[in-house]
Structure formats: C-alpha cells, structure tokens
C-alpha cells in the first residue's frame, strides 16, 4: 500500500507453464477516495485477455444532506462537526469531516461502547472543537448520529482589569446580544471566539453585591494576502 493514508494498493502476478500453456499475468489496483473505493484489473495469457473494473461505497441520507464513505458496513456513526472540514475521524484511513461538516464512521460494534474521536489537527484556524471524543453503543444495523459542538470565529485573549485589579476568576462573560461566551480565567483573562470585528462584552460577578462592567475590543485588521494570526491578544479596562 502507498499514499499518506494507504489509499493506493496494487498487485502483480505472473506464471509460466510449459507444455504449450505459455505465460500469463495479472495486474490489479485499488484506490480509496473519500467517497468510494475503485478497483480495476487486467489479465492476459495465451489466447485470452480480460479486464474488469468496479466501485463500492455507502451513501447515508440525513437531514443535512448526503454523506459518502468508501466503506461498506452494517452499523455506522454519522458524525457532525460544523466548520471542522478536513479533520480525521477515529482510526479509519480516509474518514474525514467533509465540506458540509459530516463524516461516516464504519464498522461500529453493536451493543458495545465504541469510541469515536476527532483529531483537530488540520482544521481551519477559525474553528475550535468543544469536545473531541464521544461514545456510543448502537443497535445492529443502526446509523447513530453524534454531534460535536464547535465554536467559530477569531480566537481572542483579553487581559481585563477593574479598578486596577484583575477581574475575579469565574466571572460570567456575555456578548452585546446577551449570549454567554465564557468566563474569566486566572489573572482576569477572557478567552473567546470573536464572530464580529468589534463588540462590547459584559462581565458579571458577585462580591458583597452584584457587580457588572463592560469591556470593548476591536480586532486588528489583516492586510490583503497575509494570514490572520491564530490568536489576537489585548489588555483592556472593564468600565
């Protein structure tokens, strides 16, 4: 086998027999794409020639469309991870999240716990998986759906101070629409995924009484033709 994920394989056989039978040979090859497996072979010998080709795979229809796999199996997992295009899923060569955010994992063991993991290496920089591993014990012949939540946007780390001190650990952080986007970490740090070029975040916590302040950010522009940084970092006052 050859290829980054052993997607190519071939075989060559030859035979020579006396007594007027002569020499014969067979050449075969297999290629596994992300959607199907392709096979071809050709044989030749004294007084004959033959050739054949074939294709196999599985297509799974679901609410999000159609998802293809080169494998055939009785029991599958349909993995959903929006925005994680290109991520490898479990240990099967060629199983990756497609451009629509789906992948099909074959050969699940029915009535047993199966680990389904996603390797985040290689996914777009604007996407972050909130979890990379789940378990499922499907019925025989089932297609189980497993959804992996993702966060999309530019990674932002803000060091926030209030009245000269870091904002307390665990303070709740909301965006300008009132959506919870995280909480403060050690040293008053806020880590979030920015889906807008600028926003005003609300930070809430309680000491002897409820306290609330606001912190603004503006993403740094990226010049045309330049790659956006994986993380943008700011120091801000909470007012």
- How confident is the model over 128-159, as pLDDT tens digits? 899 999 999 999 999 999 999 998 888 999 99
Among residues 88, 120, 152, the one where a domain terminates is 152
Any domain includes 1: no
74 in the same domain as 34:
no
Among residues 137, 152, 167, the one where a domain terminates is 152
Residue 206's domain is classified under what CATH number?
Answer: 2.60.40.2070
Nearest to 104 by CA among 133, 81, 83: 81
82 in the same domain as 15:
no
Q: What is the DSSP string of 173-206?
A: EE-TTS-EEEEB-GGGEEEEEE-SSEEEEEEEEE
- How confident is the model over 167-221, as pLDDT tens digits? 999 999 999 889 898 899 999 999 998 888 899 999 999 877 888 899 999 988 8
145 in the same domain as 84:
yes
Which residues span the domain enclosing 68? 58-152
Residue identified by tokens 């959607």 is 35
Neighbours of 28 (CB within 10 A): 15
Separation of CA 121 from chain center: 8
pTM over 0.85: no
Count up the domains in the chain and report the number. Answer: 3
Q: 100, 35 in Cβ contact below 8 A?
A: no
67 in the same domain as 147:
yes
Any domain includes 199: yes
């Amino acid at each position: 086998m050859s290829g980054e994920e052993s997607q190519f394989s071939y075989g060559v056989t030859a035979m020579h027999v006396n007594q007027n039978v002569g020499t014969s040979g067979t050449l075969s090859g297999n290629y596994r794409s992300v959607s199907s497996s392709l096979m071809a072979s050709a044989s030749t010998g004294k007084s004959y020639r033959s050739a054949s080709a074939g294709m196999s795979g599985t297509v799974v229809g679901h609410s999000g469309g159609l998802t293809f796999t080169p494998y055939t199996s009785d029991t599958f997992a349909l993995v959903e991870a929006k925005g994680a295009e290109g991520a490898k899923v479990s240990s099967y060569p060629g199983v990756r999240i497609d451009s629509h955010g789906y992948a099909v994992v074959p050969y699940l063991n029915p009535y047993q716990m199966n680990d389904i993991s996603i390797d985040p290496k290689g996914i777009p920089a604007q996407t972050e998986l909130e979890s990379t591993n789940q378990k499922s014990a499907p019925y025989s012949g089932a297609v189980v759906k497993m959804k992996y939540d993702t966060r999309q946007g530019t990674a932002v780390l803000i060091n926030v101070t209030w009245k000269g001190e870091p904002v307390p650990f665990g303070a709740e952080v909301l965006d300008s629409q009132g959506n919870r986007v995280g909480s403060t970490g050690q040293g008053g740090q806020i880590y979030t995924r920015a889906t807008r070029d600028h926003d005003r975040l609300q930070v809430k916590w309680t000491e002897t009484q409820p306290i609330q302040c606001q912190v603004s950010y503006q993403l740094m522009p990226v010049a045309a033709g330049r790659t956006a940084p994986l993380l943008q970092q700011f120091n801000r006052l909470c007012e």
